[in-house]
Amino acid sequence: MNYSPNDIKSQDQQSHNGLLLSIIVPVYNVEKYIHTCMESIYSQDLDESTFEVIIVNDGSTDHSMEVIQDIIQTHSNISIINQENQSLSVARNNGIAVAKGEYILMPDSDDLLIKGSLPVLLEKALSSKADLVVADFLAMTDEEIKNLTTVPQKKGLIKVKTGEQLFLEDLNPDQCYVWRTLYRREFLISNQLTFVPGIRYQDVPFTHECYLKAKKCLRAPRLLNIYRKGHESATSSFNKKKAHDLCIAIASTWKLRDIKGLKPQVSKKLNNDIYRSFSLLIYFMLYGIQDAKERDEIFAFLRHEVPDLHFSDGTRQTITWNLFRLSPNLYFSIRKILRKYTPRPNNLIKK
């Protein structure tokens, strides 16, 4: 079945019609990886009548759709949304809008699911009616994936947590990976949880908001995904557009401070997570943005997007923020001098 973007609104209120799971796969110029991703979905030992796969072709200009025609023609539970290139965030939003499953999974098309990893997690999700089921993952290079034979599954108890507990105990702000989580569809719809359209770091505000609004969650020490690492460097490819995207992600996450009833420790962690994103913005600019006028424009854009942004949790944050507020370029120059003594950060949420 093929959908166009105009069909999506009319689909939004449909019941799940007995479907247990919707797997949404955004596709944009991933011809090298998409077939492996799709194969991994159909290696889960799930009855095809119980789940659907929604492929969102985000205006691919390579052969991504052609290389998976054999899979599309073999399985009757696949539907396709074809749209002009509008970003991963819009692709995910459009997939969610037509999804009918009780739960939603959103793997990235250059990653893959570990064989047989999904049924146990889905069973636990359905029996508990948890808003979120957060699993573990492996990070591997292309070569490691190529030589992979079997993956020993992790053992451990699945823990029931509130969203607040999950946020405080488990959310690493550098790993806001959407693809490691099963989302209860009704939870997303009732809380109007969507991705910020058109930006690269959309996982950051989305994941924070999900954790802060979830009531019942499961934290499962079970490997679900293989995250494909090493084929892109966050610092070497950083540019003005990505800087703007990260500013918008910071602004969107900052707005979550207005959620009613946040406990002091939750607010403190939220502020610190935002400070982490701010620090990474500056750090990536050290390597990716060399033009002073371009940096000035990015600083002005950040102030425009978050006029009340401030940090004051401890001496380091206070000094950092006051330096930045008084003279962004002076702060930047100091960081530039010190950068050779500072280790490069891990790849910031590349997806």
**Per-residue confidence in pLDDT tens, the chain, 351 aa:** 554 444 444 343 344 468 999 999 999 999 999 999 999 999 999 999 999 999 999 999 999 999 999 999 999 999 999 999 999 999 999 999 999 999 999 999 999 999 999 999 999 999 999 999 999 999 999 999 998 888 888 888 999 999 999 999 999 999 999 999 999 999 999 999 999 999 999 999 999 999 999 999 999 999 999 999 876 544 458 899 999 999 999 999 999 999 999 999 999 999 999 999 999 998 888 888 888 889 889 999 999 999 999 999 999 999 989 888 888 878 888 877 776 665 555 544 444
Q: Are 210 and 183 in contact (CB under 8 A)?
A: yes
Q: Are 46 and 53 in contact (CB under 8 A)?
A: no
- Output the pLDDT for position 17: 67
Q: What is the 3-state secondary structure (H, E, C) of the chain?
A: CEECHHHHHHHCCCCCCCCCEEEEEEECCCCCCHHHHHHHHCCCCCCHHHEEEEEEEECCCCCHHHHCHHHHHHCCCEEEEEECCCCHHHHHHHHHHHCCCCEEECCCCCCEECCCCHHHHHHHHHHHCCCEEEEEEEEECHHHHHCCCCCCCCCCCCEEECHHHHHHHHCCCCCCCHHHEEEEHHHHHHCCCCCCCCCCCCHHHHHHHHHHHCCCEEEEEEEEEEEECCCCCCCCCCCHHHHHHHHHHHHHHHHHHHCCCCCHHHHHHHHHHHHHHHHHHHHHHHHHCCCHHHHHHHHHHHHHHCCCCCCCCCHHHHHHHHHHHHCHHHHHHHHHHHHHHCCCCCCCCCC
Largest CA distance in the chain: 61
Q: Kindly list the structural domains of the chain, giving each domain's residue range(s) and its CATH number in brackets, ordered by start.
A: 2-228 (3.90.550.10), 240-341 (no CATH)
Four-residue CA torsion sign, 99, 100, 105, 107: negative
- Output the pLDDT for position 149: 83
Q: How many CB atoms lie within 10 A of CB 289?
A: 20
- Output the pLDDT for position 292: 85
- Output the pLDDT for position 177: 96
Q: Which residues contact 173 (CB under 8 A, 6 or more apart)?
A: 204, 272, 273, 276, 277
Residue 336: HSE in the Cβ half-sphere, 13 Å Cα cutoff: 14
- Output the pLDDT for position 250: 98
- Output the pLDDT for position 231: 62
